[in-house]
Structure 1
Amino acid sequence: MQKIDEKQDNEMRSDCPVCNSENTLVVTNKTDNIPYFGNILETAVRCEKCGYQSADNICLDHHDPSRYTLKIDTQKLNSRVAKSQTATLTIPELGLKVEPGSKSQGYVSNVEGILNRFEDAVNQALLLNDGNDEIQDNALAILRNIFAVKSGDKTVDLILEDPFGNSMIDDDDAKMEILTQQEAESLETGFTIIDEDDLEDE
């Protein structure tokens, strides 16, 4: 794929799916080249009447499916992590796993930021399951373990898997592996994927 050196904008109008107003939905598509992620397509929609808005980013570059594994402790909290919208993050020792969904977004953070995101998700689970003792106990145990990692009392593996190879852990100690086709196909992507071979068989 040709490298995109400059931003390319494209704007069009459509009817709003929320308020049903005609020709009030402004749809903007923009291609850009982002460090770590490569070429991306940014899509934003905004209704000039009701104010409805939404945005999405899609990586246009596909690389070999990959897995990065990094043992994390206090010395690795600042290690850079680039997670695309198709990546799965796992900390198996803590029973934590985040898979991509239809609204997944890519982002660049560090290990501490990843731990904070897990922490926020567990705190949300605590609020939503108030009164369920088993879930509360499990959630509190996970929070204690996250704190232990941040404070240097525990070392765990951070695993980043991406079937499209658009994610990475930027650390010299991170182990990078190419996934087998079977491993890549077992991962969630957040996308609906149509197999051209299946279409030809129909």
Structure 2
Amino acid sequence: MKCRENGISRILLTRIPMFKEVVIISFACQHCGWENNEIQSAGRIQDEGIKIQLRIQNKKDISRQLVKTDAATVIIPELGFEIPAKSQQGEVTTIEGLLQRATEGLRQDQPVRKIMDPDVHDKIKVVITELEMCQSGGRLFTLELDDPSGNSFIENICAPKKDPQMTVMSYKRSAEQDILLGLRADDDTGRDQTEVAAGPITQDEVLSFPTNCPECGSPCETRMKLVDIPHFKQVVIMALTCDRCGCKSNEVKSGGGVSEFGQRVTLKMTSKEDLSRDVLKSETAVVLIPELDVEVYCCSMGGKFTTLEGLLHDIKQELKKTAPFSFGDSARKDFVLQMKQFLQKLDKVISGEHLVEVVIDDPAGNSYVQNPYAPDADPHMVLEQYERNYEQNEELGMNDMKTEGYRQGSEND
């Protein structure tokens, strides 16, 4: 692409450990020395998009590894700088490499701009200087990675602990984003093709609708049922089984909406029998194990109806999935040792050898842990209700919700 001589592109289908399948394409020119590499996702598009915000505070943060798909948008708010989706190919690189590639792209046409449009040339020169300072670690900044496909990733150097500098949020894609990813036709009205018949759902009724397997993509069927949990509330359980690859999954949705208050459930394990307690974790809940310094984001595992043992198993798998650079050849030795020691501790908790305190914090108040003493209080479990803060209401979409006088605007129109 630089000297126009012939070269060879090498293509490799591989899997980033505990992450996703990808196609890596690499090219190196033996004539001029120009190199290029890109990455394309070989896995499925995730059910939700993902937005990652990382505060860069030192030189060590610049060397974090990063997976960026071609559908992702990169923003540096402090500079007013944005790399739009589709403007760059997907790649596996570091934050420093991402900034370097952006700088080279801006510098490429500067000689022409200097002659044709000196004002634009001078403005871009300032941006290039700022980006070079960010690369060298001489400037603090915030990196935002917004990927509707949900397949981008930034290394967590504190894994398996929560990274205090990084915020990860998932969100529902808009119709425009679905069209961009090829999930909808351009003339799609936005109506869900899996929409079930309107009308109330009874507890004895099992509804089903066609869908695709999340693992192999084969057509299969999702079943949905309304369940009444004693001493709690109604929930909707959605289960999928693929006859082709054997994939099984279940997801839980609240049947009663968002509660007036958030709820924090703290269970102090006192025996191995606590592992068999039923647990309902909603898609808005955060799971914490303070003794192991573990926090699993609400967007990581979705809603689940399982046992405490099953929830801990899922946490183990999710931590492996969300910390792909803590394994494999690219992982640093101290990270590998740290993760190995942590997984050994977690295995002891799962087997009942080590008893810990488990906290499920749900701002929507839709999570539940079985109380074997019901209707009496459980002496080993604490239920706390609390007022949600502004950020929690924002994530739940409560701040912009209008519950009174919402018809006035349409009537005036």
Superposition TM-score tier, normalisation by shorter sequence: 0.5 to 0.7
Structure 2 vs 1, CA of residues 192 and 104 (structure 1 numbering), >3 Å: closer, same or farther?
farther
**1:126 Cα offset (Å):** 6.4
C-alpha distance in structure 2 between counterparts of 1:55 and 1:74, whole Å: 27
1:66 aligns with 2:251: no
C-alpha distance in structure 2 between counterparts of 1:151 and 1:93, whole Å: 16
Contact 1:40 1:58 in 2 (8 A): yes
State the superposition RMSD in angstroms. 4.3
Name 1:40's counterpart in structure 2.
236
Indicate the SS of the match to 1:77: helix
Letter in 2 for 1:33: V
**1:89 Cα offset (Å):** 0.9
Unaligned runs of 5+ in 1: 14-24, 45-53
**1:162 Cα offset (Å):** 1.4
Q: Which structure 2 residues correspond to residues 26-175 of structure 1 after superposition, within 5 A? A: 32-35=226-229, 38-40=234-236, 58-62=253-257, 63=259, 64-72=261-269, 74-75=271-272, 76-101=274-299, 104-110=302-308, 112-124=309-321, 125=323, 129-130=327-328, 131-150=331-350, 154-171=354-371, 172=378, 173-175=380-382
Structure 2 vs 1, CA of residues 181 and 134 (structure 1 numbering), >3 Å: closer, same or farther?
same
Unaligned runs of 5+ in 2: 1-199, 211-218, 241-248, 372-377, 407-413
Give the TM-score taking structure 1 as reference length.
Answer: 0.63
Structure 2 vs 1, CA of residues 39 and 117 (structure 1 numbering), >3 Å: closer, same or farther?
closer
User: 1:112-169 CA deviation, whole Å, 9 max, x = no partner?
Assistant: 2222222223444467632322321221121122234345554321001112222111
**1:42 Cα offset (Å):** 5.4
Structure 2 vs 1, CA of residues 196 and 104 (structure 1 numbering), >3 Å: closer, same or farther?
same
Indicate the SS of the match to 2:299: coil
Structure 2 vs 1, CA of residues 104 and 37 (structure 1 numbering), >3 Å: closer, same or farther?
farther
C-alpha distance in structure 1 between counterparts of 2:301 and 2:317, whole Å: 18
Contact 2:250 2:304 in 1 (8 A): no
Contact 1:4 1:32 in 2 (8 A): yes
**1:3 Cα offset (Å):** 8.8
User: 1:74-96 CA deviation, whole Å, 9 max, x = no partner?
Assistant: 43222221212221111122122
Contact 2:254 2:282 in 1 (8 A): yes
Name 1:196's counterpart in structure 2.
401
Name 1:18's counterpart in structure 2.
none
Contact 2:278 2:305 in 1 (8 A): no
Indicate the SS of the match to 1:139: helix
C-alpha distance in structure 2 between counterparts of 1:142 and 1:97, whole Å: 13
Indicate the SS of the match to 1:196: coil
Contact 2:275 2:352 in 1 (8 A): no
C-alpha distance in structure 1 between counterparts of 2:316 and 2:237, whole Å: 30
How many pairs are equivalent? 177
Contact 2:360 2:367 in 1 (8 A): yes
User: 1:33-86 CA deviation, whole Å, 9 max, x = no partner?
Assistant: 343551438599xxxxxxxxx996532313342111011254322222121222
Give the TM-score taking structure 2 as reference length.
Answer: 0.34
Identity %: 22
Contact 1:74 1:151 in 2 (8 A): no
Structure 2 vs 1, CA of residues 188 and 109 (structure 1 numbering), >3 Å: closer, same or farther?
farther
Structure 2 vs 1, CA of residues 69 and 187 (structure 1 numbering), >3 Å: closer, same or farther?
farther
Letter in 2 for 1:68: V
Contact 1:73 1:155 in 2 (8 A): yes
Indicate the SS of the match to 2:334: helix
Letter in 1 for 2:226: D
Indicate the SS of the match to 2:298: coil
| Greater relative contact order structure (CA < 8 Å, 6+ sep) | 1
Indicate the SS of the match to 2:344: helix
